[in-house]
Amino acid sequence: MDAQFWHDRWQRRELGFHREHVNPLLRDHLSQLPLTAGQTVLVPLCGKTRDIAYLLSQGLQVVGVELSETAVRELFAELFADSDIEPQIQQYSNYIHYRVDHLSVFVGDFFAIQTEQVGSIDAVYDRAALVALPESMRRDYTAHLRKLTDAAPQLLITYEYDQTVIVGPPFSISHEEVRQHYASHFDIAKLFEAEVEGGMKGKTASTESVYLLRRRP
10 is in an annotated binding site: yes
User: How many Cα atoms occupy the beta-carbon half-sphere of 41 within 13 Å?
Assistant: 31
pLDDT band per the 50, 70, 90 thresholds, residue 151: very high
pLDDT higher than threshold 80 for residue 87: yes
For residues 54 and 60, what is the distance between their CA atoms, to the nearest angstrom?
9
For residues 30 and 155, what is the distance between their CA atoms, to the nearest angstrom?
8
How do residues 194-206 score in pLDDT, each as one tens digit? Answer: 999 999 989 999 9
74 is in an annotated binding site: no
Q: What integer pLDDT is reported at residue 207 of this predicted model? A: 97
**Distance of CA 184 to CAs 137, 141, 155, 211, Å?**
19, 15, 17, 15
pLDDT band per the 50, 70, 90 thresholds, residue 44: very high
**What domains are there in the chain, each with its CATH number?**
3-215 (3.40.50.150)
66 is in an annotated binding site: yes
**What average pLDDT does range 134-157 have in this prediction?**
97
215 is in an annotated binding site: no
How do residues 102-141 score in pLDDT, each as one tens digit? Answer: 999 999 999 999 999 999 999 999 999 999 999 999 999 9
Mean pLDDT taken over the chain: 92
For residues 66 and 64, what is the distance between their CA atoms, to the nearest angstrom?
7
